[in-house]
Structure 1
C-alpha cells in the first residue's frame, strides 16, 4: 500500500498544513479539561464568579480555535484524498491502455473496472480517515496520558490495565478481517462480471429464455458476496461494543478510585473531572485507531489489487534505439506486407493457432483469407497491428519487422474493421472521427457514401449529429458494419484489414460496397477475411487456412484445380455453375 502514496506527492503542501491544523486542534482539546478543572477548583469552590467568567471566555476561544482547525483539516483531507484517487485512476487507466490483449485476458474487463472504481474508492475513504486520525489519535492518546499523569499518577494506573486489552482486541479483529476483506473484492469482481454479461447479452438471454438462469447466477454471486460481508461485519460489529464496555468500566474504576483519592485529600473534585475527560480522550483515540484498523485490511487488499495491475509489464512495447528514441518511420505508403514463417499460439494453449504461415500481400491487390471456423483467420489479422505478438517468424512492412516500429506509427497505417462491429455512445460524426480525429464533414460524408451508409444516415433526424446508443444498440447489424467500414475509410490508411466485415450485409449492398471500394483501395494493401466465397471470388489472391496452416494460395480458378479444402468450401456454398 505504501507504494501508492507516491500519488500524494503533489499534495505535500496540503498534507503539511493539515498536520499543523490537527496538531493545533489536539492541543486545544487537551487544554480544555485543564481549564474546566481550574474553574471547578478555584472558581466554583471559592465562589469567584469573575474567575469563572474569565476562564469560561478562554474556554470558548480555545474551543472556537479547535473547531476552525477541525473544519480546515476536514477540507484539506478531502481535497488531498480526492486528488489522490483522481490521479491514481488516471494512472491506472493510462497503464491499462498500454496492455496487449494478453494482459486484458489475464485480468478480465470486470475485474479491471472494479479495480479502477471500487478499489480506488476504498483507498480514498481510508486515506481521508487516516489523514484526520494519524496525528490527532496519537497526540490525543499521548497527550491525554501525560495530562492525566500530571493530575494523579496513581489513578493513571487504570490505563495500564485497559490499554493492553484494547490493543489485543484491535489486533485480533484486524487479523481475522484481512483475509475476508480480500475475499470481498474478489467476489465483487465476480458479481460485476455476471452483471456485465447479463446487461451486454440481454438480447440473447431473452431470445433463448435464459432469464431465470441468469437470475440464479446473479443471486448466487450476490449471496456469496453478502454472506462474506455479513461475516466481516459480525467480526467488526463486536469491536465497538467491546470498546464501549471497556470505556465504561474504565470510567467506573476512575470514579471509584478517584473518590477514594478525594476522600484522602490527594485529589480535588475538578482534577477528577479533568481526569475523566482525559480518560475519555485517551480511550476514544484508541477507538479511532481501532476504526482505522478496521479500514486498513480492506484498503490493503484493494491496494494489492491495484499494484498488481500497475506492476504488470505490457508484453508488447515499443522498441528504443541506442539514443533513446523510436526508430525512424517508414514512408506513409506501404508497398508490401509479408508473413514469413509466422507461428503464434495463445497463452496456455497446447497447440499453435497459426503454424509456419508465409505469404506476401502487395499494394493495389486484394488478398482474401478463407477457411473453416477456428482455422485462425481473425487471429492472423490481429497480429498485423500487434494486438498480439507472434511466437516466431516475422511480419514485415516493406522489409521492416513490425516489432521494430512504434505501435502508434504502425497502427496509423492500418484501417481495421473488426469481426464484431463496435460503436461508441455519441454522434455518428464522433464515431467516424474515431478513425481520423480531424476529418472534415465532406470526408465523413464521402466515407459513408462509399460504405453504402449515406442513405440511412440521411433518414435519421440530425444526420451526422444524430446520437448513437451505447454499442450501437439502436442500429441493425448491417448498419453497424457499414459505419465501422466508413470509420476505416475516412482514415485513408496504407493497409485495410476487413475481418468478415460484410457478413451482415445483403448481397446487393455488399456488391455495391465492393464496387465503390475498388477505386478507394487501389493504392493500398487489402486483407479480407470472409466466410462467403462470393465475397472473395474476384480477389487477386486467396489464402486458404486449415487448422492454422496454409492449405493453398492462388486465385479462384487456381484453387479450384489445386486445393481440396477450397473446393469443399465452394461446394458447400455455391452451385457448380456459380463456382465456375
Structure 2
C-alpha cells in the first residue's frame, strides 16, 4: 500500500494534509463535548438553573455545527484524493498491461488483470478515502479521551489500562487470521471473472451445445466458493464488535460503580463521572472503529500487492538500446526480408519446445507458407517475427537485423500481423482500419479493403467507411471480420505481412482471390523511401492456401520437419504427403483414376507399381528444386525456381 502512496500521492499531497487537519479540529471539539456536558450537569442541572443549561446547550450546538463544517471539508478532500488516485492507478495499470509481452499476459491471465484493474483498485480507493476521513480521527480521539479521563481521575483511569489491552489482543488475533482469507478472496474473484468471461464470450457455443445449465452450475460453484471464504472471514471479523462492546460495557459498569463511591465521599462530582463515562465510551468505540479500519486496510493491502505486482512487472520484450533501422539502406543492400537462424522458443515452465529448428530465409517479395496440424507451433513460429515472443535460442532477423535490435514501434510498422482471431473494437470501420496509420486517406482505406476482398460488402453499407462496428465486430460475420482485419493490416503498407490462419472463415474462392490480390499488390511503400516488394507469411491448414508459396515450412509438434516448394515436399516429406492426401483430389496430385498411391517405409510417396510420383506429376517433369528433406536439415532459402 505504501508503494502505491509513494508513487501516486504526490499530486494529491494537499488533500492528504487539509483533510486530516480538518478531522483533527473536529476531534478537538468532540473531546471538549464531555467537559461542556459535565459543566451543564454540575452548574445547570444540579443547581436547577435553566439559563445555564440553555447557554451550555447553545455552545454544544455551535461546536457541533463547526465540527460538521470541518467534516464536510474533510469528506471532499477524501473524495478528491481517493478518486483522483484511483483514476491515476487505473491509467498507469492499463498502460503497464499494454507494455507487457505475450509471455507476461499469459502468466497473469486476462480475468486476473480485469479483476486487478477494477475490484483491486476499488479496494485501494476505499482505503485511501477512509484513511483520510477516519485514520486520524479514531486513534487521536482514543488517545485524547484517555488523556482527558486520566486528567479527571487517575484511579478510575486504571480501568482504561485494563480494558484497552484486552481489546488489542482480540484485535491482533482476528487480523492475523484474516489476512490469508482476503488474499484468497481476490484469487477466487479471478476465477469468477474467468468463468463469466468464458460464458459470455462463448454464449453462442454454450447455447448450441445446450450447456446453459452446466455454465450456471460452474458459475454457482465458483460464487459459492468465494462466498464461503467471505463468510469465513466475516465470522472472524464479527468477533471484534461483540467482544469490544462487551469489554466497553463492563468498563462503563466498573466506572459507574467506582465513580458512585467517589461521588458519595465527595471526591468527584456527578458531571465528572458522566464525562468519565463519555470518555470511556469514546475510547473503546474508537478502538472498535480502528479494528474495522484495519479490516479495510488488510483487504486493501492484499489488493495493493496484486496491483504492484503488475506495475512492477518489467516486460520481457522491450526496445531498450535499440537503434532506428535505415529501411531503405537495408533494402538496397539486398538483406533478406525475414530470416530465422535455428530459431527455437519454449514457453516458461514448459519441458518441450513450442518451436524448434526454424532455419530459413525469405527475400523481399517472396511468400512463406506455414502448414501443420493443430498445436504444431505455427502461430508461435510467426509470432517470433514481429517479436510478440522472443526466441529462446537462435535468432530472428528482419531486413538483415535481429528483431531485438529494432525499436518495437518501427518493427511493428514494418511487419503487419493479422491474428487467428479477428479482433475489432467498437467504433466505425474507418476507426478500426486506421490503427496502423491514423493519417490514412480514404483512397488508401478503399485500396486495402479491395485487396482484402472487403470493399464490396463495405460499399453496400449505408454509411460506408463510417458504418458502426460493435464490440468485437459482432455485427459482422466471421468472414467479414477476418477481411476487415486483413485490410487493417494492409493500411500503412507493411513490408512483411503475416496472415496467421486469418482466412479460415473464407470460402475457397474468396481465399484464392485474396491471395491473388496480395501477390498482385506489387510493392509496399516505405515512408520517405523507395519501394520494396511485399513479403507474405501465410499460416494455414489448407494445402490450397500455401501450395503456391515460394517456400513452405511444415511443422509437427513444434519441430520444422520440412522446408521446400510444394512439388518437392510432396515427393519427400511424409507429413506434408499425409496433409495433401487428406485434402487434395487425385487429379490435383497428377494421378490417373487407376493409379494407387502408397507411402514407403522411408516416407517416399510412390505409385503402387513402384514408380516415383515425381515422374508422373503435372507436366510430367521433375520438380525444379530438390533441396528439401524431411526432416529438414540445414538452412533453406527460397529462390525464384524453388528453394536453394
Same fold (TM over 0.5): yes
Paired with 2:155 and 2:582, the residues of 1 have a C-alpha distance of 98
Paired with 2:556 and 2:56, the residues of 1 have a C-alpha distance of 94
Paired with 2:182 and 2:560, the residues of 1 have a C-alpha distance of 51
Paired with 1:444 and 1:347, the residues of 2 have a C-alpha distance of 40
Tell me: higher relative CO, structure 1 or 2? Use CA pairs within 8 A at least 6 residues apart.
1
Paired with 1:350 and 1:140, the residues of 2 have a C-alpha distance of 60
Residues 1:549 and 2:549 aligned together = no
- 1:552 to 1:180, Cα distance in 2 relative to 1, 3 A: closer
CA contact (8 A) 2:324 2:410 kept: no
TM-score (norm 1): 0.95
- Quote how far apart the aligned CAs of 1:398 are: 2.4
Report what 2:454 is aligned to: 453
CA contact (8 A) 1:319 1:403 kept: no
Paired with 2:454 and 2:475, the residues of 1 have a C-alpha distance of 15
CA contact (8 A) 2:15 2:77 kept: yes
- Quote how far apart the aligned CAs of 1:48 are: 4.8
- 1:534 to 1:9, Cα distance in 2 relative to 1, 3 A: same
- Quote how far apart the aligned CAs of 1:485 are: 0.6
Q: Which has the higher helix share?
A: 1
Give CA-to-partner distance per residue, 1:129-179, whole Å, 9 cap, x none: 122222111211111112112222222222122111111111121122111
Residues 1:159 and 2:181 aligned together = no
Paired with 1:416 and 1:366, the residues of 2 have a C-alpha distance of 15
Give CA-to-partner distance per residue, 1:552-578, whole Å, 9 cap, x none: 333333333443433332222112322
- Quote how far apart the aligned CAs of 1:190 are: 1.0
The 5-angstrom pairing of residues 185-204 of structure 1 reads 185-204=186-205
Paired with 2:308 and 2:17, the residues of 1 have a C-alpha distance of 26
Gaps of 5+ in 1: 321-325
Report what 2:31 is aligned to: 30
- Quote how far apart the aligned CAs of 1:53 are: 4.3
Give CA-to-partner distance per residue, 1:223-275, whole Å, 9 cap, x none: 11111111111121232222222222222222222222111101112222222
- Aligned with 1:153: secondary structure? coil
Report what 1:328 is aligned to: 324
CA contact (8 A) 1:170 1:293 kept: no
- 1:50 to 1:565, Cα distance in 2 relative to 1, 3 A: closer
CA contact (8 A) 1:450 1:513 kept: yes
Report what 1:368 is aligned to: 369
The 5-angstrom pairing of residues 389-404 of structure 1 reads 389-404=390-405
Report what 2:291 is aligned to: 290
- 1:266 to 1:531, Cα distance in 2 relative to 1, 3 A: same
CA contact (8 A) 1:32 1:63 kept: no
Report what 1:539 is aligned to: 549
Paired with 2:573 and 2:159, the residues of 1 have a C-alpha distance of 94
Paired with 2:497 and 2:47, the residues of 1 have a C-alpha distance of 97
Report what 2:238 is aligned to: 237
- Aligned with 2:136: secondary structure? helix
Give CA-to-partner distance per residue, 1:323-343, whole Å, 9 cap, x none: xxx413332675521111111
Paired with 2:242 and 2:464, the residues of 1 have a C-alpha distance of 64
Deviates more, 1:32-41 or 1:513-522: 513-522
- Aligned with 2:88: secondary structure? helix
- Quote how far apart the aligned CAs of 1:50 are: 4.8
Paired with 1:521 and 1:145, the residues of 2 have a C-alpha distance of 86
CA contact (8 A) 2:135 2:293 kept: no
Report what 2:445 is aligned to: 444
- 1:72 to 1:367, Cα distance in 2 relative to 1, 3 A: same
Give CA-to-partner distance per residue, 1:522-544, whole Å, 9 cap, x none: 41211111221222232222223
CA contact (8 A) 2:385 2:398 kept: no
Deviates more, 1:28-37 or 1:347-356: 347-356
TM-score (norm 2): 0.85
Report what 1:425 is aligned to: 426
The 5-angstrom pairing of residues 94-109 of structure 1 reads 94-109=95-110
- Aligned with 2:370: secondary structure? strand
Paired with 2:107 and 2:23, the residues of 1 have a C-alpha distance of 44
- Aligned with 2:327: secondary structure? coil
Paired with 1:213 and 1:48, the residues of 2 have a C-alpha distance of 76
Report what 1:4 is aligned to: 4
CA contact (8 A) 1:119 1:302 kept: yes
Paired with 2:399 and 2:269, the residues of 1 have a C-alpha distance of 95
Paired with 1:342 and 1:30, the residues of 2 have a C-alpha distance of 73
- Quote how far apart the aligned CAs of 1:14 are: 1.0
Residues 1:144 and 2:148 aligned together = no
Gaps of 5+ in 2: 524-532, 590-617, 619-644
CA contact (8 A) 1:544 1:550 kept: yes
The 5-angstrom pairing of residues 42-53 of structure 1 reads 42-53=43-54
CA contact (8 A) 2:428 2:469 kept: yes
CA contact (8 A) 1:194 1:217 kept: yes
Deviates more, 1:179-188 or 1:54-63: 54-63
CA contact (8 A) 2:240 2:288 kept: no
- Aligned with 1:491: secondary structure? coil
Paired with 1:413 and 1:127, the residues of 2 have a C-alpha distance of 45
- Quote how far apart the aligned CAs of 1:521 are: 5.0
CA contact (8 A) 2:343 2:355 kept: yes
Report what 1:255 is aligned to: 256
Q: Provide the aligned length of Structure 1 versus Structure 2.
A: 575
Deviates more, 1:334-343 or 1:106-115: 334-343
Paired with 2:245 and 2:559, the residues of 1 have a C-alpha distance of 73
Deviates more, 1:150-159 or 1:71-80: 150-159
